[in-house]
Structure formats: structure tokens, C-alpha cells
Structure 1
Amino acid sequence: MFDLVDALAAIAAVTIALTFTSLDRRTAAVIGAAGSTIGVFLAWVAAPGAWTGTPVVPWIAAVLGAAGLVAGWSAVRLYDGVFAPPRVEQPDDTGAVTTIGR
């Protein structure tokens, strides 16, 4: 029972810490909650025996999960143009025509 409480406390703490230190709070809340939840779940699946008697494991897993998701989010935002088709510049046919409306 205390393992579940530790995991939920770790998820909440990492999410709150990431949210309060970010400029975009809504995105940070989603990334913090999702990343820490994924990290805790994967650590539990990978090593369920490490959870008994070691209250530090969920905290480390939550921090690493959130950091991994932040890194992934940053990479996607950085390379956003890689997935977009190349832009073709249309010729500018307006010239130097200026109209003055009334």
C-alpha cells in the first residue's frame, strides 16, 4: 500500500515542480504527469521486486520519466520542419503598386 502512495506522491511532486518552473504551465503539467506516470509504470514493470522496501525507486523513476518526455517533446519541437513538406515560395506579382482607399 505504501508503495502506491510513494508512487502517487512522486508523480504529484514531479508534476508540480515541472509546472511551477515552466513558462508554459499547461504543457508542463501534461508532460510532467504523463512522463512521471510512464516512468513509474515502466520501472514497476521492469523491476517489481525493487519496489518493496525501497521508497526511492518511484521518485527516481518519476524524475527520469518526466525528463525523458521533456527531451522527446523538445526534439519534436526542434525538428518540426523535418516532417513538413518543403514550402515553395510563390512569385511576388504585386510589384510596387500601392492603392489608397477612401
Structure 2
Amino acid sequence: MKLNSAQVKQTLNQIEAEVLPDEHPAVTQLTDMFGDHTFFLDESGLKVLEPTEIPETDVQSSEVVSLADWSDASLTSLKPHAPEPTGTVVVFREVKH
């Protein structure tokens, strides 16, 4: 799921991670491997958000999904794995202009 700037900001307020900027050299390779997403890095590896629904509400939310784990102690190399839901849900609030 590709996020807009408001969604990125709301995500970063709810999880401890850094967003990988679209200009980062790894984004093209990650997009080829995993599809068009906004990519996040945290202490355990690479994450993306996948849309979820909260039953009986109109709240927009997404679950954090892990795609790769760090394979070294210096956090410089990632080891991809099958997508794993983390159980963490990010809730998006409507932004008023």
C-alpha cells in the first residue's frame, strides 16, 4: 500500500520506524520484489502496511506486515521472508484542511 504524506505522518506517530524515502536507491529493488508500497524500517527489519477493516466502523486502518529481517548486527543487510502480519494496526484519522 502506497501512503500519502498525511498517512506516513500518522503511521510514524503510531509505530517506531523510519520511512524509506522514494528517492532511496533500494526502493526500486524493493518495489520490484514486493510491489508498490511505502517501506518502513524498524529495529527488526522491513515493514509495509496492508489495508484492514475494523468491523462495523468507517475507520480506515492498515496492519503492519513484516517482509524482511535484519541479517546482521549492524542493520545493513536484509533477509526477505514470506509476508508476516505483526498484529500491529495503524489507524488513519481523517485530516481536516
Do the two structures share a fold, i.e. TM-score over 0.5? no
- Of Structure 1 and Structure 2, the greater helix share is in 1
- Of Structure 1 and Structure 2, the greater strand share is in 2
Q: RCO greater where, 1 or 2, for CA within 8 Å and sep 6 or more?
A: 1
- Using the size of structure 2 for normalisation, the TM-score is 0.28
